[in-house]
Amino acid sequence: MLKDKIIQFFSQFESENIENSFPLNYCLPVYHCVSDENLPHLNQIIKYKNIKQFESDLDYLSKYFQFVNWDEFKDFIKGNFKPKKKIALLTFDDGLSEFYDIIAPILERKGIYAINFINPAFIDNKDLMFRSKASLIVNKIKSGHIKNQEINPIFSSENHIEEILKIKYENRIELDEIAEKLDISFDSFLQEQKPYLDLNQLKELTSKGFGISAHSWDHPLYHDLSLTQQLETTQKTLNYLKENNLMTDSFAFPFTDFSVGKDFFEELFKNKNLFCTFGSAGIKTDNIERNFQRIPMETGENAELILKKEISYYKMKRFINKNKIVRK
């Protein structure tokens, strides 16, 4: 895309010391997974980093930002915490098992805090997120173990992979139907691979000082939900967290908060315990002052390039007054 090429070009001229050029006083990176393995439930939908790449990202971020924990972040926003540098709050989404097995030990060694925003529907490996189901199906098709005469009757076009990856949350039952026809057992995968954290792991992570918070019940795109549905899935998740003595003062939108209206935030923040919410639109501000935008870090690029491109894009948008999300 032309926009990407322009951003790429201007990012080359960004200062080496991004602490000076970073336009906000906080940086909010978001990841999902870190693994050296080929994970079939993620490899078609997320460009997750391997361990070396992730540690390199952390080392780069640590040069220019001060990593903070949740209480420090809240105090910073309130004006009660004075850091030595601009701050960074590390976040993860989806409650994947690699957070316990791989990520937490790295963060403990480096002394870095993180929050993982979870979907209770998947905790204890009770179900698999619909996009991960699509990824498993695509991997089965790409493996060559399915013949065309088995696949073709299922789909409306010959581009089977594109069709599968376009299936939306509201049509997710189609993925179960396709899997059954292709002899794919999501239940077996969940029991054998255990891709998600279980409740005991969540509580152990909490005892080690990590945060576990809300990411909706089962990962819908909020823009496609009614206001009532948005509030129901959010509150159901917060209820689960409260019942299990986990964090109930934050919420991160699954996918994106694009086109979520002001009315949702007005209703949600009637909950006085809720401190803030998080989107993932990169370096942007929001007319909902307690909604903070995070920077997606799984683009196939390293942290340095991601941040420099984000800074360049922010500067470009400044000329057309598009740096702030305005909700109606």
Strand-pairing partners, residue 26, are: 87
Query: Who's near 132: CB < 8 A, 6+ residues apart?
Result: 41, 42, 45, 195
pLDDT in tens, 13-66: 566 778 889 999 999 999 999 999 999 999 999 999 999 999 999 999 999 999
CATH class of 2-126+198-325: alpha beta
Q: Count how many Cα atoms sit within 13 Å of the Cα of residue 30 in the half-sphere of its side chain.
A: 23
On the question of pLDDT at 244 being above 80, the answer is: yes
Question: pTM of the prediction?
Answer: 0.94
What is the C-alpha to C-alpha distance for residues 190 and 306, in angstroms, rounded to an integer?
Answer: 33
Residue 239: both structure tokens together = 């209820």
- Per-residue model confidence as pLDDT tens digits over 143-199: 877 765 566 666 656 678 999 999 999 999 999 999 999 999 999 999 999 999 999
Q: How distant is the alpha carbon of residue 30 from its chain centre?
A: 6
Proportion of the chain above pLDDT 70, given as a percent = 92
List Cβ neighbours of 218 (8 Å cut-off, separation of 6 or more): 119, 121, 122, 127, 129, 233
Q: What is the pLDDT of residues 57-92, one digit of tens each?
A: 999 999 999 999 999 999 999 999 999 999 999 999
**CA angle centred on 300, ends 206 and 50, rounded to 5°:** 50
Domain borders along the chain are 2-126+198-325, 130-190
